[in-house]
Structure formats: structure tokens, C-alpha cells
Structure 1
Amino acid sequence: MKFRIFIIGLVALALAGCKKILEPEPENLKTIEQMYTDANFAQGFLINAYRTIPAYYDNSDFATDDAVTNQLTHPYLQLATGSWTAAGNPASVWNQSYEAMQYINLFLANSAKVKWAVDPESSKLFNTRMRGEAFGLRGLYLYFQLRNHGGVASNGQLTGVPIINQYQTATSDFNLPRASFDACVKQIYKDLDSAEAYLPVEYNDISSAAQIPARFSNITQNVETYNRVMGQYARQLFNGLIAKSFRARTALLAASPAFKNASNTVTWADAAGYAAQIIDYKGGANSLPQNGGTYYANTSEVDGLGGGNNPSEVIWRENIVTNDGTQEGQHFPPSLFGNGLMNPTQNLVEAFPMANGYPIDHPNANYLPANPYAGRDPRFAKYILFDGSTAGVSNTVIRTGSSSGSDNGVNVRATSTRTGYYMKKRLRMDVNRNPISISGKTHYNPRIRYTEMYLAYAEAANEAWGPTGLGTHAYSAYDIIKNIRKRAFGFASDPYLEECKSDVGKMRELIRNERRLELCFESFRFWDLRRWKVDLTKLNETARGMDVNGNVFTPLSVEPRAFQSYMYYGPIPNSEVLKYSQLIQNQGWK
């Protein structure tokens, strides 16, 4: 496989007669040994690993039945329509992950020698925390590698990726085989266990020595020392709760149909148990934040963030960006001076039930094809702009019909929708993209949401114990979904949920649909469809739209999908397979 060997030193120019100005300054000649006395330099290895964490919003939704894009050269459009190859894979995280692991492994090999602070207790505590971060980040990158590149190899075996736990030098053997899927899962667990052992669950200041967690009390009893290292100033660094969340993600992946075989011992009960740890920490089934479904647009909460705090819905996030309108510029309709990149599909629109909770094709739905947007799930209008929606700072009416006379109409211009819909989720409607008076707002991108963890539990618990089974926990899949739907609909009662609670299969479909709606446009669907190993006809469902002109609704076939059966698993980069004889490709990829 391809590793970029990190070069610590720079070779000084030594040519005879060279002028002093051509010689590098001594401070630029970094060596491994300088890590030991330069804490900032040493910490830089971890910072580099943070910088390449895969994006939460990667727009892989463009390659699903949930959305298309009007950017016709977009890599995910090409992928979805027949150009997904081992040599051209926009979903690859191979190189960035192994490069990050290089930094992490170099750090772990040397961190104990670094003088992190003058005070010995602070120095030891800093080393403890940063080693925890490093183990956690290594587990994170291996999870993404396993999700994006693990699969059934050409030898017929369920296989993971090479496990690299040592810093690789120019003399290392790079011709390494892929570890088994099970071995990769266990390695992720091991790294996350180490992270939890070294890190607090969350970074908070304390007021007395009695509040110092027991595993750190042998290092210091000084409140100021603890707060300096493990307090609020460390927020948004990897912590114990993040480690628990990635363990839950890993177990859900491993328990899913695409990855189950005799050598993989992870069960649905395991996955439910790991997700339950996060739910219990949050306070139980009834503690899901009531405004969590609109985490991106809770303006007072977002604008008031500071001190590294998270919104109540968020376990981990990226840094806050102020006076920003980047996403709005990408995704607003043309009339709001946006490029309209994310076009939700009619397929997704039809997945939103009616306001009474029934799917639109249910006999009790009261769905009106002649007035299809009336009486729908409240999340529909919160997440999608449709014909007649209002948007932007001036509440502009959005007309999406091809004959509407608006630039927002279907295929009117290059930045117009192809489906008759625009994305509203992720965006703040109080951003102004008008060049005359452009103004941005505060934004953040999540990395992990509590809703994801609640949905993970519901899915796993239903498979392990049925809709109302508890296992060893205080709540069931039914209890979790009841609370998610109550938040969405404001239900006093939910007759469709009651209809599903006695049938594992019906509850499975409901849970999967709730996951689709709650996490739409957040880059989950592409991988969910694959780990569920849905029927190939579902994977290849044509992306559809709706051209609305007055009272005339014209269905559109917008974009076909061209996935083959081997595409349930992503490929190993072809360049790596060609270079290394022990690196076996997944079945079907060339």
C-alpha cells in the first residue's frame, strides 16, 4: 500500500561557496529528538491527524436515492452512473487514513520522552491525555477504512485492511496483507479501550480534588493542574464519549448483514449494548434533545456557542465558523444567489409520512396526490424546499416548475434544481447571499449526533430482541422510535408505530425509514444501503423528481443508478494492489 513517509529532517545545503542566505535556519531542521524539548512540535503530529478526519458532510447523498446534484462533473454523480472504479473512487479514505496513522504512530512511539510542561504532574497528565487522543484517532481512522474498504475479497473471505500499529520508515516492509474483518474490529475496540483509559468522558473544569476521576488521581491532586490539562480548554479534542460513539458505530457496521459471517463474532446485542452506553450517559430514552432535529438552524443556541461547548444534540463537532455562508452559497436556490447543488429526490419526498404518522401509501394516510405537500410530516418542510416554500431572509417564495418563469425552475439554468426540490437542512435561512448586502452567520459541522446513537440502538435492539424486547436495558427499540417520532410529530399517540411494534420486519422498515429521514443529507445513506445489503434493485432505484406547474404535477425520471452486485463493498485503490502482491482486491473490482 502507499504510505507517504514523513520526513523529519531537512538536508542542509552544503555546497562549497554557498552564501549564508541559502542555508536553512537551525529552527527549520526538525528532528525526532526535537520533539522531546519542543512540546508544540510534538503536538503537531496529533494536530495533523485531526486535520484529515473524513468530512461529516461529504455529499455522498448524490449517489443515493435521496439526492442528485446539478454539478454534472461531480465525482459522486460519476460514481453513481457507472464510473466507480478502483482507480477512480471518490469514497476512498485509504491514503489520508494511513498518512494520519503515520503521524499517530510516530507520536505514540515518542510521546513519553516529550517534556510537555515544566511541572512534572502537568507533563505526565498532558502525555496521558494526548496518548488517549492518539489511540482514539487511530481507532477512528481504522473504522473509516473498514467501512469504506472492507469487504469480501477476491479469495472469497470477508476481509478488512492492513493493520499498521508501528511507525513506518523507508526500510519498512509495505507489502502487507489485509487483516481479517474480525481482527480489524478487535483492533478498533482495543484502541478505543485505550482512549477511554487515558481520557475523561468529557472535558470539564472541576472545583475540588474529590472530582478528579480515580484513574488520574495518582497523577495529580491539584485542581488547577487537572483543569489545565483535562478541563474545558481541551473541549473538541477526542474524549471518552467519542470513543464510546465510535465503538457503537463499529459494532453496528459489523453486526449488519453485509459483514456477518462465521468469523465475525459481533452481534446485534453487542451493537445495542454499546449504543446504550451513550443513551444512558445522556439520561435514557426520554432524554433526546427536543430541538435536535434542527441542530443546524437553532439560531440562538448556535449563536450562543462558546468555550468549546456543544449544542445539546451534539457529541462532537468541528470548530465554530463565524460570519459564514459557504453552505448557503452552495445549496441555496438561484433566486437566493446559491448554486443549488443538493437536489432532493421525489424518492426521498415520498419517504416522509403524513402528519398522522402513516406512510403515504397506507390506507389510513389520507394522502392526496393532487395536493401532495399538504398534511405531511413536519420534518419535510424543515428539510426540503418544494414548490411554494418560502426561504431566505425575505421569505422568498420558491417556484420550482419548469414553466414558472423563475430561475429556480427545473433545469432552467445550470444552478437550478434537476428534481424540483432544493435542500433546506444544514442551512440557515437568515444568511444573505445577495452580493449587494451579503452577510453570513455562525455555523458548525457536527461529527457525531446523539440522534444517530439513539437510532443505532433502535436498529440493533429490534434485531436482537424484537421491537419491545429490553435485553439488559431499560428501554426497547419501540421506546426509542416512539420518542424520535414524538419529537418530530408532537404526537400524543402514534397508531402506525403501535401497528409495527408486534412485527420485527415492519419495525425494521420503520426504523430504517426514520434513520433515512432524521439523517438525510448527512452522508449516511450511501453506506447504510450497503451495510444492510439491500436488494440490488433498491440500490439502483432511479432518482426521480417532480415538475410542478400550477396544479399540474409531472413526474420526472432524473438520473439512473448503475451499481453492480460487487459494489456493496468499496475497492482497495488499484494503484496499491498493483504495487503490493499481498494486498488482495475486493471481489469484482478492477
Structure 2
Amino acid sequence: MLVVLTVISSCKKFLDVVPDNIATIDNAFTMRSQAQKFLFTCYSFMPKSGTLADDPAMVGGDELWSIPERAAFLDMAMGFQRKIDPLGDRWTPMYQGIRDCNIFLENIDNVPDLKTEERLRWIAEVKFLKAFYHFSLVRMYGPIPLIKTNLPISADVNQVKVFREPVDSCFNYITQLLDEAAPALPLTILSPSTEAGRTTRPIALSLKAKVLVTAASPLFNGNTDQANLKGADGASLFNLTPSLAKWEAAAAACKEAIDLCEAQGLKLYKYNPAFQQYALTDTIITQLSIRNSVAEKWNSEIIWANTQSTTVGLQQLVSTWWDGLYLDGTTTRGELSPTLKIAEMFYSQNGVPINEDKTWDYSGRYGVRTAVNADKLYIRSGYVTAKLHFDREPRFYADLGFDGGVFYGQGRYDDKNASNLFYIEGKFKQKNGKGKYGFNTVTGYYIKKLINFQNVVNNSNDYSVIDYPYPLLRLSDLYLLYAEALNEAQGPGTEVYKYVDLIRARAGLKDLKTSWSTYSTNPEKPNNQDGMRAIIKQERLIELSFESQRFWDLRRWKDSERELNNPIKGWDLSQTTDAAYYRTTVVFNQSFGTKDYFWPISDNNITGNRNLVQNLGW
């Protein structure tokens, strides 16, 4: 069947469109090799997750800050979104991907030399991609037009001017596609060298779980803030009454995905030091387990990683704190900076929030303290740094770099000799501080988590970076989604605690019940639904920090208005003395309103199709 190019992006172009791919569509499906190329074209629309150029979740919220001219999506975090040429607009590329998926599905049966089993697998892969592209749009724009099939060339202008569908219809269609895809997908990739990044049945079920948790979350489930968003035909686009059944369905989907993933051998990653050159302490093994769960490619915890994200190496360069290295015009300069609020989000060493730990000096956290030898694996012995940096959980030290903090990696692991441990000197004009040529941290913090621990400094001008495909779904993410859905559906219980505690154990923490009953000023918190909800949220924000998750989680929980109306803070980077450096400073005063939960639809698209009603507030 003849098809048109995606005119949904600008319907006024409809009469001018001459589909340049019509002459080649028939050729694309004349033999298996050509059809396979078209299959890979369908994959090519995957967003480049984890990159500053294509992922708004990196610096579009409050988790990471940077130098404005170096990170386009920082403009979104600073409140400069607009409806004319919106920042991070994915409307056109995602619908182009959906268009090509439809072309594939409509023509794949024409390929004569394709075995039935392979044909069914390819169809399933493309249905999965079509579901993911629709889901990517729903997360950004809310209710969207569903493009189930491409329009024929004979379609008139009115057929092209599609409507936004109710948000429940959008989620139902996405899950329908995933249900159709899953049975024909392989359980695992048998040839990683040729098929890495292609989808599997565990990926499909895990994405379905995430989709259903999103659909059950407050942003989409009973969101009365969207009561006035109606389609051009006057129909409501949001349900206004929360549904418990959505959480129940989400919990069931999460458990099904977990069972299948574990049956295929997926498990929480733990670093194996068997082939390590140096003897490592349990402290360092725990840190490497946390870091490598993200940065070691295709490890035991990775359900789905995005092989389209080919610039992870560059992300590591701009995140790394190392001083004075210039590679092809790119320096390692620590410019991608965690914010002070993120540093405060991590637990104390007792596994509870620092403002709840009755043994931790929360009111004195901005004072200074000298590290002793017992701190040497986390903080350089004898170094003066903020009290905030002491007696924190292992994920704090695995994920964050800070003034005086030890930075494992770059090829050196001799923790028996503290003088051999790399550490950060971050005050004004120190080797990693502000005031020197090039860029620097803007908050006083650096990312460790996303940097592969095997990256090696060979000499003053050579920093070898080990790339890895950016993880989209990890088993820890799935565990926490299940705990969240189950808590919302039934309240706290043994099963909820189990999956949170598995993640805490890998991070070197005691179980929830013990930690809260022993150390918290609110010992009953895990025993009620509201308290457990708060715990699960904080666990997600900690465990998945810097992985493009917080941005979306705050939105679906409708917590962005609370979190993104607080100032972005850091230390006083222009100071040389300890007391002066450790004064909090405001980097930027953020603001976030109800309208900001969803992207504006570009004015060009609205002008071309008046059936595409604009999101509220834009």
C-alpha cells in the first residue's frame, strides 16, 4: 500500500508532499537482506539516551547542573521552555519512527525468502519499537494521536488532521502492542556481537511494567489538574478519578517481568574481584558493584541498554574530574555537576535519611571536619571537608565526587596505601577547582557513577575511555517499580520490603525495618502506606541517580512542583579556605508550574492541524 510521509508534524504541507520513498518501498521488501536494513532503520529512531544533546532528563531538572552554553536542556531547567520550536521537541522524529514501523508492518509479508519464525520475530521487534515511540511521546506530551496505520496517498486533508486520543486509550494501545510483540521475541540474545541492542521478551515485559506503572501514577491517573484539557471534539483527554485497578495491573506486570528476567539469569550485579590485580577491601568491592551496575556493558543487571547512545564516551569526558587532559579538543573537566540537594538526598551510613537519623548531626552538616585514617577509603586522611561528606551510605561515595573525596578508578586500586588513592582537590585554583583554564564543576560535586572504573590515565594528555551502551532498564529499576506498585495496590508488606531490601543489601545497607526502628526519628515510617511510599521514592531517586530517571519520576508522581521550585545550590567555589568554601551558594532559582509537566506542542503543528489542541498553559 502506498503511504505518505508523516504529515502529522505539519499538516499544511500535505498537498505539497511527494513521498520520495514510494519508489523504493517495493524494492525494500523484495528480499531478506533489504528488509533487514529497513528493520534496522526502525531501530534508528531510538533517542540517544544519556547524552546532553538528546536527553532532556540529564540536565532538564534539578539533578545535574552545567554551564548553560554547554548543555541545551539546561534552558528547560531554567524555565525557558517555549511553544515556538520547543526545547527537546521529539514530536516529528518519533512520528517518523512510527511511520517507518508502519511501513515495515504493512510490507514485511511481501518478502519471499524470509522464514516464518524470523518474520514473526521481526514483526514483534517493530511492534515493540512502535510501542516505545508512542510511550516516549505520551510521557512528554500526554494524550497524543495514535498512528495505528499509515494513511494512503488518497487520504484527504480532513483525514490527515488527526485528533489527540484520551490518555487511557494511549496507554491501552501501547500495552496492546507489547502484548502482541512479546510471544514472538527471543528470551535472550544468542549472538551479542551481531544482535546486541535488539529487543527480547524480558525487555518487552519490563517495558510493559514501566508503562503500566506510569499509567497508574498521579500524573496520568485521576489528574484533576488536566480537567480542562479536551479534544477538538470536546471529549475529555484525562480520567479524573484515580483507579486502584491500574496499580494492581502494574504490580502484576512487574512481577511477571521480574520472574522472566530472573529465569533468564538476570540478577543484581556484584563486582567479582577474582581477576583483580590488587587485593580489594569489601568497601571498594561494594562501591565497584554500585558503579559497574551501570557502567559495565551488558552486566548481569542490564535488561535493556540503548546501543544508539554512541556518545557515552564524551559524557564521561565532560563528567570526569581529572585535571589538564586535552583529547581531540575535548578536556576532562567535571562540568556535569550534581547539585547540593542531590548530595543531601543520599542516606546516612545507617540507611535512613540524614534529617531522620537521630545519630547524625543534620543541623551541623555544613560545618567542616578533618578526615582520619578510618575514613581513608572515602575521604583522604587528614583532609578538611564538609561534615555532610562523613558517615554516609556507600552509594553516596560510589556516585559522587567532592572536595577531598577519593575517586576510585582510572586504573589504580591500591587501597592498602592511602597515598596511592586518587582524590579531588576542589577549592579555588586547586587542581580540580574553579579559576583555571577550561571548565569546572559549578556546584562543587562531580559524577563518579557514570564513569567506567577501567578508564585509565596513561599520561598528561591521554585518558582512555571505555564506552558502554546507556542502560534504559536495570533489574533494580524493575524491583523498585514492583515495590511501588504493590505498596500502592495493597500497602506495605513482606513482598514490598523484600525487593527494596535486595537493593539496599547490594548497597551495603541493613534492611528497612531494622534501619528505621534502630536509627530513625520516625521508626513507624515503613509500616504505613504513606511512609513506605516516601521511602520507595527516595530509594528510586538514590539507586537510579544520574540515569535519566529522576526527571520522569518527579513528573509522574506530580512532585516536580515541590522539588523544582527550590533553588539549585552548591558550595562557594571562589574560596580557598575551608570555612569560606563550605558556604552554600545559590546557583539558580528554579521555578516550575503545572503547565510544565507536559511539553508544549509546537505552534507549527497546531497551525497545521487545529484538531491538535494545545496543552494547558501554553
- If the TM-score is normalised by the length of the shorter chain, which range does it land in? 0.7 to 0.9
Alignment partner, residue 409 of structure 1: 433
Matched residue SS, 1:544: strand
* Residue 81 of structure 1 pairs with residue 78 of structure 2: yes
Shift of the 515–363 alpha-carbon distance from structure 1 to 2, 3 Å rule, reads closer
Once the 2 structures are TM-superposed, how far is the Cα of residue 393 of structure 1 from its aligned partner?
Answer: 4.2
Alignment partner, residue 2 of structure 1: 9
The percent of aligned pairs where both chains have the same amino acid is 27
Query: Take 1:171 and 1:406, find their aligned partners in 2: how far apart are those partners?
Result: 68
Verify the 8 A CA contact 1:347 1:544 in the aligned structure 2.
yes
Query: Take 2:452 and 2:295, find their aligned partners in 1: how far apart are those partners?
Result: 13
Which of residues 24, 38, 44 in structure 1 aligns to 2:31? 38
Verify the 8 A CA contact 1:333 1:422 in the aligned structure 2.
yes
What does 1:115-514 correspond to in 2, within 5 Å? Answer: 115-117=112-114, 123-150=115-142, 160-172=143-155, 173-204=159-190, 234-261=195-222, 262=239, 267-283=246-262, 287-291=267-271, 297-298=291-292, 302=296, 310-319=298-307, 325-333=313-321, 335=323, 337=325, 338-367=332-361, 369=365, 370=367, 371-391=387-407, 392-393=410-411, 395-402=421-428, 405-410=429-434, 414-432=438-456, 436-468=461-493, 476-491=495-510, 495-498=514-517, 499=523, 500-514=525-539
Alignment partner, residue 217 of structure 1: none
Matched residue SS, 2:303: strand
Shift of the 35–253 alpha-carbon distance from structure 1 to 2, 3 Å rule, reads same
- For residues 303-361 of structure 1, the C-alpha deviation after alignment (integer angstroms, 9 at most, x for no partner) is xx7xxxx3111011234999984232221125163132310011000011111112111
* Structure 2: segments with no counterpart, 5+ residues: 1-7, 223-238, 272-285, 326-331, 368-386, 413-420, 518-522
Q: Which amino acid aligns with 2:87?
A: P
Once the 2 structures are TM-superposed, how far is the Cα of residue 386 of structure 1 from its aligned partner?
Answer: 0.4
Query: Take 2:477 and 2:511, find their aligned partners in 1: how far apart are those partners?
Result: 24
Verify the 8 A CA contact 1:97 1:142 in the aligned structure 2.
yes
Query: Scaled by the length of structure 1, what TM-score is found?
Result: 0.80
Query: Take 1:382 and 1:327, find their aligned partners in 2: how far apart are those partners?
Result: 18
Matched residue SS, 2:9: coil
Q: Which amino acid aligns with 2:405?
A: S
Matched residue SS, 2:572: strand
Which of residues 50, 56, 62 in structure 1 aligns to 2:49? 56
Once the 2 structures are TM-superposed, how far is the Cα of residue 564 of structure 1 from its aligned partner?
Answer: 1.9
- For residues 414-455 of structure 1, the C-alpha deviation after alignment (integer angstroms, 9 at most, x for no partner) is 511110011111112442466633423242322211111111
Shift of the 383–373 alpha-carbon distance from structure 1 to 2, 3 Å rule, reads same
Shift of the 492–98 alpha-carbon distance from structure 1 to 2, 3 Å rule, reads closer
Shift of the 295–580 alpha-carbon distance from structure 1 to 2, 3 Å rule, reads farther
- For residues 198-257 of structure 1, the C-alpha deviation after alignment (integer angstroms, 9 at most, x for no partner) is 22333449xxxxxxxxxxxxxxxxxxxxxxxxx995453122111111111111111111
* Aligned Cα root-mean-square deviation (Å): 3.1
Moved more, 316-325 or 34-43: 316-325
Query: Take 2:295 and 2:316, find their aligned partners in 1: how far apart are those partners?
Result: 19
Query: Take 1:413 and 1:497, find their aligned partners in 2: how far apart are those partners?
Result: 47
Once the 2 structures are TM-superposed, how far is the Cα of residue 35 of structure 1 from its aligned partner?
Answer: 2.9
Query: Take 1:295 and 1:585, find their aligned partners in 2: how far apart are those partners?
Result: 45
Moved more, 292-301 or 357-366: 292-301
Alignment partner, residue 225 of structure 2: none
Matched residue SS, 2:473: strand
* Residue 108 of structure 1 pairs with residue 91 of structure 2: no
- For residues 491-521 of structure 1, the C-alpha deviation after alignment (integer angstroms, 9 at most, x for no partner) is 3775334532212112111111111111111
Query: Take 2:308 and 2:585, find their aligned partners in 1: how far apart are those partners?
Result: 39
Matched residue SS, 2:507: helix
Verify the 8 A CA contact 2:266 2:475 in the aligned structure 1.
no
Verify the 8 A CA contact 1:407 1:413 in the aligned structure 2.
no
Matched residue SS, 1:166: coil
Moved more, 90-99 or 483-492: 483-492
Shift of the 341–450 alpha-carbon distance from structure 1 to 2, 3 Å rule, reads same
Query: Take 1:237 and 1:550, find their aligned partners in 2: how far apart are those partners?
Result: 52
Query: Take 2:504 and 2:220, find their aligned partners in 1: how far apart are those partners?
Result: 29
Query: Scaled by the length of structure 2, what TM-score is found?
Result: 0.77
Q: Which amino acid aligns with 2:449?
A: K
Matched residue SS, 1:55: coil
Q: Which amino acid aligns with 2:356?
A: H
Query: Take 1:164 and 1:325, find their aligned partners in 2: how far apart are those partners?
Result: 35
Shift of the 509–414 alpha-carbon distance from structure 1 to 2, 3 Å rule, reads farther
Verify the 8 A CA contact 2:197 2:306 in the aligned structure 1.
yes
Query: Take 2:606 and 2:254, find their aligned partners in 1: how far apart are those partners?
Result: 36
Once the 2 structures are TM-superposed, how far is the Cα of residue 524 of structure 1 from its aligned partner?
Answer: 1.3
Shift of the 295–396 alpha-carbon distance from structure 1 to 2, 3 Å rule, reads closer
Shift of the 167–295 alpha-carbon distance from structure 1 to 2, 3 Å rule, reads farther
Matched residue SS, 2:304: strand
Shift of the 313–293 alpha-carbon distance from structure 1 to 2, 3 Å rule, reads farther
Shift of the 323–525 alpha-carbon distance from structure 1 to 2, 3 Å rule, reads closer
Shift of the 586–414 alpha-carbon distance from structure 1 to 2, 3 Å rule, reads farther
Verify the 8 A CA contact 2:399 2:447 in the aligned structure 1.
yes
Shift of the 490–562 alpha-carbon distance from structure 1 to 2, 3 Å rule, reads closer
